[in-house]
Chain A
């Protein structure tokens, strides 16, 4: 693929940002600094980075409960994002949204969503706005294999299909809806097969290969603008549990270890090195930068104040 070096560097950096961010969040969890729950994205970095790198800044995304990777990939202020996870006033949602509700409308990120399948119809509505305002942007709707079995999936894909709206339905199939394996939750092999019911294209891509995801979304974007919705299914795997309460009883250590061998970050590094895009020391430098960016975000977040109780009733109404 003929990509500018700076673009490849940005993609690699973002994948590392996600990995380091999630590691830090997991650590904070054990310390009790992040409360509630979080759904970590470790192992799936190629999906979000590949997809969002193929979008333009004004394109919209809708995200999911496992949304940290989407936010970082669409471009976000890491400081404010980390601050939100620590419930601080300087966070994206002033400390009121937390892990599952980060949004950045200024960069087209219409928000993570705590309801599985909650974002699909919203994506259709955003695409309707684009159509009515005669914009040539698109909406990319992230969702998981679990959401493809929710009723909202059917309604949203059908609506987008009959109106030929510019939506890329991007399924991150990480093989489990919480503990339910896809082999038991649906009677077709691929989520992409479901596209046939709506008369739209459905394609499977390797969700652990960032460049394959990138080029699939780039093509999908052109298709969506000219012809209407398309369903992409990225096969991937979440390394960690569904959420903090997960004891991983439904899958084997061997399976997890096998997928860790197919680490999307390691394989992208290998590609960049073997193709002479960057030297090993240049790649090391990018890695150091990623760690340092996350450390700075932590510092910013930790030094930020908690929101005052005086603000608790703000922003219920516009």
Chain B
């Protein structure tokens, strides 16, 4: 299968959907001629024109708000927010408007829109351009939250998100944009709310998403040499969670580690741990469920500090081994 980057896969998903459905359009800062701050939409302006690849001024609240208004009146906008940290500026529109409209209007409206936004550290951009804020939005009924870890998942999940009739927050990751992987050329969707077992194993389960999936798979390969067989499960969609898949993997292996880059306190790891602890899988556990998130600090600038405030292969390995103590 041909290999393309995560960024190319996202662009391919948008282009395919825009060719398929004229209601779909891209709106955001510098998405046109510039091609997006991370180059995701390079070339789309030439194919679709200024009307459907719509550059905006620096107005995050109005970009998301205009997407809400367009969605309620029959379009299917994809809004790009240049860094997920800037979602804070448009949060009223996402949380108080997009997520609530259907419910508070008694089911008469729908809000089919996607907010695409890159998160995560590792680029030396420090505290205001490196956060992982996905858990915030998982606390909002009415939203869906997606965080793909591979190019193939990114394409299939984004196409599903664009076709979904609800507001979807689609967390991309800056460090994954240039990573390549096999991506089917044909039209396919990956249903939202469905986890994927990235590696099968029987001794312990690591539940992780986004860029941490690759690190966890590397750890799993290394530990296989020591006779420890790890299963790596990627929920892919964080809201709604594929609880069944997480619970059955936990019941199968009896040991669970949850890894994410977002700070540990209030992170989605706590929710996943609770889902498992409250389920029948609890009776199969051989060790307490363990979380490994980012340190509870803003992302620092200095490269050595930055690298070590989020889980690394070393700290993931240590955390896995603790499950066997």
- Residues of A at the B interface (CB closer than 8 Å) are 60, 62, 91-97, 101, 103-105, 110-111, 113-115, 118, 120-130, 132-133, 151-152, 155-156, 158-159, 162, 314-318
Contact = CB atoms under 8 A, between A and B. Distances in A.
B104 A97 contact: yes
A155 B65 CA distance: 10
Contact of A103 (B61, B70, B105): B105
A103 B108 contact: yes
Contact of B69 (A97, A103, A122, A318): A122
A131 to B, nearest CB: 8
B155 interface: no
A129 B62 contact: no
Contacts of B102: 315-318
Contact of B103 (A96, A130, A159): A96
Interface in B50-100: 51-52, 56-57, 59, 61-62, 64-75, 77, 92-93, 96-97
B111 to A, nearest CB: 8
Contact of B142 (A113, A118, A130, A316): A316
B109 interface: yes
Given A132-B25, A314-B107, A318-B112, 20 more contacts: A93-B105, A97-B105, A103-B109, A111-B101, A111-B105, A114-B96, A118-B93, A120-B62, A121-B69, A122-B68, A124-B69, A125-B70, A128-B66, A128-B70, A129-B75, A155-B65, A156-B65, A158-B62, A317-B102, A317-B166
B165 interface: yes
A130 B51 CA distance: 12
Contact of B61 (A60, A130, A151): A151
A315 B106 contact: yes
Given A132-B51, A318-B165, A162 B57 contact: yes
Contacts of B77: 125
Nearest to A114: B96
A118 B99 CA distance: 13
Most buried by B among A93, A120, A126, A158: A126
B141 interface: yes
Nearest to A139: B69
Contacts of B25: 132
A206 B112 CA distance: 39
A125 B74 CA distance: 10
B110 interface: yes
A133 B74 contact: yes
Interface string B32-58: 000000000000000000011000110
